[in-house]
Structure 1
């Protein structure tokens, strides 16, 4: 017998022992007896990380009715014991509860293979206690349909489907338990990884998760590519949810969710997201807490997003730095970009924590249209919308003595729905909070509102309107060191002005174009306003170039046609 034949023989013998043991174990309800037999079948397995373990060989039925959790887990355990390999999910519908993935295991879902999360909530468990000494709490739950803890070299691949049956975890009415008997933060994610290294998930269809679809916590070297995520059957089901993870790369994915499509919390670093499409009720790129830095997001399509496509919330002690957004198309969105520095929920900052820091954030080549929100297509329940969501713009919002720094926009072309009134545009005393982007209410500008920013650059920005809007296009409120080059926007005769600068200084604007008649080009407010220059452009549609108010000095402004 040659070496190849000997290897095949040994493998066949191992499989036969595993199947025989598993059959007996399932009868007695102790599947790990079979696992023990398989693990001890050969102290020196010849497979050595190359084996393929078909879960049907471990007793899986795949009939869409039988609970196949034990068979899948046994296959993974044996594969891991034999230095890794591939666990094969063949054609069929395999009903499972919680299953633990382990190091060096590739889970391959064939094109007609489906892992179907059971509707029996008792079949899910947290798996392992996850001790945390980082100060970050897992208050979003730690239950996964598939999960891994402190593992490495894990791959999930194939053109098959993982269906979480998320609707079974949604209460039909308030106060009534979900059909699964499991809800709140005890709902299972599709995939949950904690403190893992070298993760790859590719080409899989992730359908109707009961919670977030892919949750990655404290992991490194993560690659997610070619994923199809669909889930609009339950509230609070993010697509990707990253917590304090590094070297994460997302590409060629299509995500349609009810909640945040791609959330980054904690200290996420060295992250790239590219060539993806997203649609959601809430935000696409949602940043919250921690220190997020060295992140690029590019070549993405964002559509039918009725929350805020790019939402960054920096709380006390947090830091967002060196983050780039480029080549993004937005179609039918609200928001569309919002950055805020404030205490959580607008509460007073604790003396022990430094204010958040936002620095070096860039946006380039972003085109699209902003709308008033409508019911999200394919969602199984309706959403209510706040006034600030009905009227939205680009918002940079800090307050008091806290400033965000070095924020740049280049080649931005957005069409807004219009409909804003003179009364909405006249509001000066904006609420000092920046939790959700809409909490400041209806913004007084229809295009861009910036408060407390240092080093703001606006280059080649063009705003248009579907309907007339009587608010200013641009408001700078306590902005220091701003360079504006190539700003084009329509005005309205009833609007107070096209541009409004409040307590701002060292502002230089060139090549400003007024696209439709407006009473006043620029209103400058406050004695603190200084060194403001408007240099050239097409200002002919402005009946008056300058208005001074609230103690602003004429010497603070120079305008050259």
Structure 2
């Protein structure tokens, strides 16, 4: 009796013996191609850069060969440009529509160390420089993917000089003549998956007026040069970032201009300056969740508006470890409602509807140098003994700002001199700029809020590691505040636990004084009205209230 399985096996062997080697090669190539996303099974639409003359030896300049593969893929209306195992040295490359740029696990695209091998991106705006390694303009359905590496070789462009776009510098004398790693301008349906990006000479990824952007599993290590941003967005819409790991030197995720409908989730970040930085334009509808922030200074979450309109931001489930700041919201730049070009009145800017939910943070006394950043970085005086800062002034107000389930532990160490600051300069600047003009840092260790309408604190807890002579919370010209379940650590060296200055319609319920303090509340100024403290555990406060600067006893009601 013949075994059926054996018979089938023999027939397969007989069939294979009749198939030519070239046929097998074609079939194998089709099978390999089918495993690459975007490649039709059985169709040869893989454009291997080696077939276009690339050497991949790390010495030969492969720019023309790689560009030829990209151009061929684009002309064919789609396919995959394959960067196989090897080190491919290159200058400026233009990515195009319908191209999937695939970096194999052993593939490394290395930027040339020579400035003459780079150009400005054709059609890329010049702001912040437009010299670039890889770029695309008006491209559609463009993808960059794979387990390989794009290395900008940015240390070769280090001059010790940044772009001088920091507070008060305005870019004067800045170093802009160096390549960004990626610039995408007015691209639609852009995808970046899994790739490792490192050592840019300038910003890592700049997205300008792009739509439908999907970034997933990208790792960025960018700490070899000054202004080493991670993601830098300007006026983009429908942007979704997930599962990314970013370690950089400057802003990790900067959103300027009119960004709308942006989500960022399940990511980790570390940088010298800030993580989420917002400013300019009309930014709306942005949700950030489930993120880890560590070893970050210069304020992890920084929202500022000069002539901008900012609204509907949500930050939730965020852990911050070893940070300064940790949150700064305010009006910076031009805030006098005048157009700087013609000194004519402009539409009044606003910041409103910002929520923070499920935040856990540990705040250190001052920035600590990152051991893998090889150059010194200036520490601003205002970064020391920092707190959450909500800063508006004049006829500007922050509106509808809420903190729910927020627990922050500060380093402490604030002084009596800091606590004694009553007249905080009316300065529109980045959060540390406000405190630079009032040397020594903020007068509160937990939260300083000025000119806020509609402030909500629900289940908020502020503690410190070392004795602090400052109040936990200072509310200056705050209107319409609901503060429920506030738990704060007191200090006998502080005049009071809370300070309220010329504010009205504030309701404190279920306040908990965690450790002994001199007084629960210092009420200051002649314009206080409708301040109510209703219930809570106030036993550890020696006094309920003290009154200063003409404060009226009738403006405060305490129901213990």
**TM (normalized to structure 2)?**
0.88
CA offset digits 1:243-264 (Å, max 9, x no partner): 0000000000000000000000
Aligned to 2:444: 445
Query: Is residue 2:425 matched to residue 1:431?
Result: yes
Instruction: Check 1:315–1:173 CA distance in 2 against 1; reply closer, same or farther (3 A cut).
Output: closer
SS at match of 2:50: helix
Do 1:358 and 1:405's aligned partners in 2 also have CA atoms closer than 8 Å? yes
Q: Distance in 1 between matches of 2:160 and 2:371?
A: 20
Q: Which residue matches 1:216?
A: 207
Kept in 1: contact 2:337–2:347 (CA 8 A): no
Shift of 1:127: 2.8
Asked if 1:162 corresponds to 2:176, the answer is no
In structure 1, the residue matched to 2:119 is 125
Secondary structure in structure 1 of the residue aligned to 2:444: coil
- The yes-or-no answer on 1:142 pairing with 2:130 is yes
Q: How does 1:501-516 map to 2 (within 5 A)?
A: 501-516=500-515
Q: Residue 334 of structure 1 corresponds to which residue in structure 2? A: 324
The alignment's C-alpha RMSD in Å is 2.3
Closer/same/farther in 2, CA of residues 154 and 489 from structure 1, 3 Å limit: same
Distance 1:533 1:462 in 2: 20
Aligned match for 1:273, one of 264, 285, 297 = 264
TM-score scaled to structure 1, two decimals?
A: 0.88
From the superposition, tell whether residues 351 and 386 of structure 1 become closer, same or farther in structure 2 (CA, over 3 Å). Answer: same
Deviations 1:486-542 (A, max 9, x none): 111111112121000111000000111111111111011111100000011111111
How far apart in 1 are the matches of 2:318 and 2:295? 14
Partner of 1:204: 195
For residues 559 and 314 of structure 2, the distance between their equivalents in structure 1, rounded to whole angstroms, comes to 34
- Name the structure 2 match of 1:545: 544
User: Which consecutive residues of structure 2, in runs of 5 or more, have no partner in the other structure?
Assistant: 1-21, 31-39, 163-173, 436-440
Distance 1:319-1:347 versus aligned 2 partners, 3 A rule: closer
Deviation of residue 343 (structure 1)? 3.3
> How many residues are aligned here?
510
User: Does the alignment pair 1:322 with 2:315?
Assistant: no
Contact 1:425 1:470 in 2 (8 A): yes
Structure 2 residue 467 is the aligned partner of structure 1 residue 474: no
Give the aligned partner of residue 364 of structure 1: 357
Give the distance between the partners of 1:470 and 1:348, measured in 2 at CA. Answer: 40
Moved over 6 A (4+): 46-50, 345-349
> Are the counterparts in 1 of residues 123 and 137 from structure 2 also a CA contact under 8 Å?
no
- Give the Å deviation of 1:348: 7.7
Greater CA drift, 238-247 or 374-383: 374-383
* Residue aligned with 1:156, SS: strand
Give 1:49 shift.
8.8
Question: Which whole-Å CA distance do the structure 1 matches of 2:416 and 2:108 have between them?
Answer: 56
Match of 2:497 in 1: 498
1:252 to 243, 251, 256: 243
Give the deviation of 1:169 after TM superposition: 1.1
Q: Which consecutive residues of structure 1, in runs of 5 or more, have no partner in the other structure?
A: 13-45, 132-137, 175-182
Q: Is the 8 A contact 2:94 2:136 kept in 1?
A: yes
Distance 1:337 1:285, change over 3 A: same
Partner in structure 1 of residue 461 of structure 2:
462
